[in-house]
Amino acid sequence: MPGMVLFGRRWAIASDDLVFPGFLELFVRVLWWIGILTLYLMYREKLDCAGGVLLSSYLVVLLLLLAVIICTVSAIVCVSMKGTICNPGPRKSMSKLLYIRLALFLPEMIWASLGAAWVADDFQCDRIVVNGIIATVIVSWIIIASTVVTIIIVFDPLGGKMAPYSSAGPSHLDSHDSSQLFSGLKTAAASVWETRIKFLCCCIGKDDHTRVAFSSTAELFSTYFSDTDLVPSDIAAGLTLLHQQQDKIRSNQEPQEGVSLSPGPSQDDLDKELENCYHYMQFAAAAYGWPLYIYRNPFTGLCKIGGDCCRNRTTEYDLVGGDQLNCHFGSILQTTGLQYRDFIHISFHDKVYELPFLVALDHRQESVVVAVRGTMSLQDILTDLSAESETLDVECEVQDCSAHKGISQAARYVYRRLVNDGILSQAFSIAPEYRLVIVGHSLGAGAAAILAIMLRNAYPRVRCYAFSPPRGLLSKSLHEYSKDFIISLVLGKDVIPRLSVTNLEDLKKRILRVIAHCNKPKYRILLQGCWYELFGGDPDNFPTELDGGNQGDLTQPLLGEQSLLVPRSPPYSFSSDSPLSSPTKYPTLYPPGRIIHLEEEGTSGRFCCSAAHYRAKWSHESEFSKILIGPKMLTDHMPDILMRALGSVISDRAAYLSCPAQGGANVDTV
């Protein structure tokens, strides 16, 4: 529901968010009250010492004050459990209860201060009593400090500007006033987000590229959240409901029919490309350097590359161009299995729009391999989040050459290094008959794909293997053009190949609709959602049912949704596109090339340590047009998980080929 309005400003917390914090506070305060009562009843005879009257009075008043606070917090919890996210009516008394609760902090702070002053005196009383009172004073100040921290966390810098929306309502704002308020809100939101991003990224420098990335990222966030009035717990509840809804729809779908037993050309092509993916994924992983290697080999990795970290540069290192190698070279050699002399250039220079990369000679496949590193720093995240579209300057017969701005800038940097610095010329002077292959994972996959497009005129035989690339990368025309020489590999429910500005906007609308249709209180949604994520179960047993019982209703605008939108925000309506759907700044973008999807078969349980089995298939880009919610949406993107799954698919295919009589029906599960 919309954030609460207290003291004339909106806060980033809703009236139904106080169930769990309230229960926690009740638990602590009831135990505290029982402890103080026990202390007083057991040792009140020992308070006849000097100053004992003050200490006795302190305990009695604290017991009464705690009793009042416990009653107030109990009322807050009971009221917060009422209603639903879109029906805050039963919780209309919440603001008054919170004012009472906040008012009780004044006597609590005064009494805690007096208690601290009294125990500071040298009372000649029983030591157990004095220590007990010191403990109560400490607990008092811990709770007060925790409350102050909570207030800081839920403080919304835009709350003063949002309050007119939350309190006045759309009927009190005419079109002109609403437009002005909304415009002012967007400007203020962009400023707030830019300040937050600068604070989080205070250590990465202030060059022109960084300033542009700050502004671009702030505008993306402010635009995305400007037309809704959701608090973080609403989003968590919506994601929980969406996951259960998606699982329910999937469980109701009929199983796929068996495929033909005769392996046609597409099947042979799939086998070949899977082998290539498995081979070149080693280079994409090597581009991450020693951090990924140590992560993949926590017990032996440091021993294997420790010598390279400690010794000075050797003559073998001098054969390789590049900078900032440090411990990276040893891990790269271990991951790829190549020799020093096989590397042409290794760079770990990392800035906004400038990615690390390596160039090596792969004699096994007779190729010059360019591997671009994926996201691994704050600079890379800013590159990812520069999500506007810009036109690529490429020589190809494609009308619309637009692409993701941040990634295309990064690809342009690598292009300049490869071409202007003569790195590719050096490589092909050594092996002129070799083919150029460009690989990368995640952000590196997107940069590799755009780099391949930029180099195709000069190197017509270029191939690109993009592992888990972002969806919002290329225009439709470039997507079709890239199918001839780019292969993308996607694992399971990986969120990044489904992530684009358009899909994020679709996710926001689906969250609004599923929240509006749910008739369960938020605390039940979150509790049952946590159980479902941990232990699974039947989605029918969870609060995902629509009040109308018709899944098709999700495409219709709902009255309940209106309470979750900023009233009369001009750019947003159910019949028109949202601010993020701007055809000029945020057009619909697509993933690169042909897509191989490693799809999980059956279920591997709720925990990442469970074994999983995958089948590989060619997939259309439309299969990744919606973000799927689930426990593995993030872990499926990890390069080590992808490498393990790819290895499993290859070994399963080898077992199938060795025992064809037993594998018949799963010919596409290579």
Contact 229, 565 (CB under 8 A): yes
Most confident of 78-92, 119-133, 249-263, 311-325: 78-92
Query: Which among 339, 344, 285, 340 has a CA at the least distance from the CA of 313?
Result: 340
**314 pLDDT tier (thresholds 50, 70, 90):** low
Q: Is 16 helix (H, G, I), strand (E, B) or coil?
A: coil
Residue 231 has pLDDT above 70, yes or no: yes
What percent of the chain shows pLDDT beyond 90?
42
CA-to-CA distance for 512 and 2, rounded, in angstroms?
12
Question: Two tokens at 435?
Answer: 């083919």
CA-to-CA distance for 22 and 80, rounded, in angstroms?
9
Residue 391 has pLDDT above 50, yes or no: yes
**370 pLDDT tier (thresholds 50, 70, 90):** very high
Q: What is the 3-state secondary structure (H, E, C) of 447-465?
A: HHHHHHHHHCCCCCCCEEE
> What is the torsional sign of CA 128, 130, 132, 135?
negative
Write down the pLDDT at residue 583.
Answer: 52
Residue that the structure tokens 């993306």 belong to: 220
What percent of the chain shows pLDDT beyond 70?
77
| Type of residue at 481 | Y
Write down the pLDDT at residue 611.
Answer: 65
Which residues, at least 6 apart from 619, have a Cβ–Cβ distance to it below 8 Å?
490, 595, 596, 597
Among the residue ranges 112-126, 217-231, 317-331, 377-391, the one predicted with the least confidence is 317-331
Indicate left, alpha or beta for 345 from its phi (over 0: left) and psi (-120 to 50: alpha).
beta
Contact 327, 301 (CB under 8 A): no
CA-to-CA distance for 351 and 28, rounded, in angstroms?
47
**8 pLDDT tier (thresholds 50, 70, 90):** confident
Residue 281 has pLDDT above 80, yes or no: yes
Q: What is the 3-state secondary structure (H, E, C) of 571-591?
A: CCCCCCCCHHHCCCCCCCCEC
Question: Two tokens at 551?
Answer: 């899944």
> What is the torsional sign of CA 636, 638, 640, 643?
positive
Which residues, at least 6 apart from 638, have a Cβ–Cβ distance to it below 8 Å?
none
Write down the pLDDT at residue 613.
Answer: 82
What are the two backbone dihedrals, phi and then psi, of residue 520, each rounded to the nearest 5 degrees?
-110, 150
What are the two backbone dihedrals, phi and then psi, of residue 590, each rounded to the nearest 5 degrees?
-130, 165
CA-to-CA distance for 372 and 280, rounded, in angstroms?
12
Question: DSSP code of 326?
Answer: T
**409 pLDDT tier (thresholds 50, 70, 90):** very high
Which residues, at least 6 apart from 326, have a Cβ–Cβ distance to it below 8 Å?
290, 309, 348
Contact 638, 285 (CB under 8 A): no
CA distances for 665 relative to 260, 617, 619, angstroms: 8, 14, 19
| Average pLDDT, integer, range 69-88 | 93
Write down the pLDDT at residue 580.
Answer: 56
| Average pLDDT, integer, range 278-282 | 96
User: Active-site residue numbers?
Assistant: 442, 494
Of the two residues 328 and 276, the one the predictor is more confident about is: 276
Query: Which among 194, 196, 162 has a CA at the least distance from the CA of 3?
Result: 162
pLDDT in tens, 93-128: 999 999 999 999 899 888 888 877 776 666 666 777
CA atoms within a 13 Å half-sphere pointing along the CA-CB vector of 261: 7
pLDDT in tens, 162-191: 555 554 444 444 555 556 656 666 677 778
CA-to-CA distance for 30 and 143, rounded, in angstroms?
13
CA-to-CA distance for 200 and 221, rounded, in angstroms?
15
Write down the pLDDT at residue 434.
Answer: 96
Residue 544 has pLDDT above 50, yes or no: no
Write down the pLDDT at residue 262.
Answer: 37
Mean pLDDT over the full length of the chain: 81
The helix or strand, by DSSP H or E, that contains position 425, with its residue range, turns out to be: helix 423-430
| Average pLDDT, integer, range 11-32 | 92
Q: Give me the count of residues in the chain.
A: 670
Q: Is 359 helix (H, G, I), strand (E, B) or coil?
A: strand
Question: What is the full DSSP assignment across 107-172?
Answer: HHHHHHHHHHHHHHS---S-HHHHHHHHHHHHHHHHHHHHHHHHHHHH--TTHHHHHHHHHH-GGG
Query: Which residues pair with residue 618 across a beta bridge?
Result: 596
Question: Two tokens at 182?
Answer: 């909304």
Helix axes 127-154, 52-80, angle to 10 degrees: 30
Write down the pLDDT at residue 458.
Answer: 93
pLDDT in tens, 647-661: 999 888 777 666 655
CA-to-CA distance for 292 and 593, rounded, in angstroms?
27
CA atoms within a 13 Å half-sphere pointing along the CA-CB vector of 285: 27
Write down the pLDDT at residue 351.
Answer: 92
Are β-strands 486-491 and 463-467 bridged in parallel, bridged antiparallel, or unpaired?
A: parallel
**366 pLDDT tier (thresholds 50, 70, 90):** very high
Cα 207 to its chain centre, rounded Å, is 27
